[in-house]
């Protein structure tokens, strides 16, 4: 596969290993405003209390499948830049929270929200651990519902994201986005990513051919029969 693009991604180097050059991927980045109804975006914003953790919800679409990510960032008052982690699993979220937050906050994060009565304000109810677990599980269970996004765009890669803006929730989707900065290689290695893209475009370039119509007369001949196969020949 030959990739034509104005940026470099982590799987591009595989082109040098003598792949099929008849398959071409024109990788042109396109950013559009996203209808939030296209994805089941939960409300993940800033965590209250003393944690200072920000959450951005990201969904990577790659060759027919979707992969959810939680981008967590934590900034200490004494440091100019936040510590940012891209979490592809619930265990990675746990590790980040346990590393940056205090004991009482971690306990609140792991507790289940109460239906009635006083709620611990150290951690908002919509961002407890069980909600993050539900987030990852939702996308695993709804893989088949996103197939239309690939077909409609004719694009093998997209990145959708949602975050809390200054006034409202913001949503966007970027087609043919670079996956290197999202550390997508943690899920799909260099060679596997390239091979999946090549198979994706190979399937698009060679769709299933329609079955030709064959008459009954030709079908009899193909099967090795003649006009006397099902009746007696005339007497000599």
Q: What is the mean pLDDT of the chain?
A: 78
What is the tens place of the pLDDT at every residue in 137-181?
A: 888 887 777 777 888 888 999 998 887 677 777 788 899 999 999
Q: What is the mean pLDDT of residues 42-71?
A: 75
- For 112-132, what is the mean pLDDT? 67
| Dihedral sign from CA coordinates of 210, 23, 183, 31 | negative
| Residue pLDDT, tens place only, 89-109 | 999 999 999 998 888 888 888
SS3 readout for the chain? CEEEECCCCCCHHHHHHCCCCCCEEEECCEEEECCHHHCCCCCCCECCCCCCEEEEEEEEEECCEEEEEEEEEECCCCCCCCEEEEECCHHHHHHHHHHHCCHHHHHHHHCCCCCCCCCCCCCCHHHCHHHHHHHHHHHHHCHHHHHHHHHHHCCCEEEEEEEECCCCEEEEEEECCCCCCCCHHHCCCHHHHHHHHHHHHHHHHCCCCCCCCCCHHHHHHHCCCCCCCCCCCCCC
> Both ends of the chain: CA-CA distance in Å?
67
State yes or no: pLDDT of 209 exceeds 50.
no
Lowest mean pLDDT among 77-81, 143-147, 162-166, 224-228: 224-228
Q: pLDDT band for position 17 (50/70/90)?
A: confident
The answer to whether 173 and 158 have CB atoms below 8 angstroms apart is yes
- In this predicted model, which residue has the larger pLDDT, 169 or 40? 169
Q: What is the pLDDT of residue 51?
A: 52
| High-pLDDT (> 90) share of the chain, % | 28
Q: Which residues contact 231 (CB under 8 A, 6 or more apart)?
A: none
Compute the distance between CA of residue 124 and CA of residue 197 in angstroms, rounded to an integer. 40
Least confident interval from 6-20, 25-39, 55-69, 205-219:
205-219
pTM over 0.95: no
Q: Judge contact between 98 and 52, C-beta under 8 A.
A: no
Pair 86, 179: CB distance under 8 Å: no
Least confident of 22-26, 75-79, 98-102, 144-148: 75-79
- Give the pLDDT band of residue 235 (cuts 50, 70, 90): low
């Amino acid at each position: 596969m030959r990739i034509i693009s104005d940026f470099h991604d982590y799987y591009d180097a595989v082109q040098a290993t003598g792949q099929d050059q008849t398959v071409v991927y024109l990788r042109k980045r396109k950013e559009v405003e996203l209808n939030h109804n296209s994805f089941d975006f939960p409300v993940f914003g800033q965590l209250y209390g003393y944690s200072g953790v920000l959450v951005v919800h990201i969904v990577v679409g790659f060759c027919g499948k979707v992969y959810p990510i939680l981008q967590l960032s934590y900034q200490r008052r004494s440091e100019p830049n936040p510590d940012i982690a891209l979490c592809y699993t619930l265990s990675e979220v746990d590790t980040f929270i346990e590393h940056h937050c205090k004991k009482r906050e971690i306990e609140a994060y792991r507790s289940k929200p109460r239906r009635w009565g006083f709620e611990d304000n150290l951690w908002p109810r919509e961002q407890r651990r069980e909600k993050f677990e539900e987030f990852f599980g939702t996308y695993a269970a709804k893989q088949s519902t996103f197939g239309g996004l690939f077909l409609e765009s004719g694009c093998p890669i997209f990145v959708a994201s949602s975050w809390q803006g200054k006034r409202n929730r913001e949503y966007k989707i970027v087609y043919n986005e670079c996956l290197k900065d999202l550390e997508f290689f943690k899920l799909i290695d260099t060679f596997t990513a390239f091979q999946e893209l090549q198979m994706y475009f190979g399937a698009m370039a060679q769709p299933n051919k329609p079955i030709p119509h064959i008459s009954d007369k030709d079908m009899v001949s193909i099967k090795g029969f003649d006009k006397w196969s099902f009746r007696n020949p005339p007497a000599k």
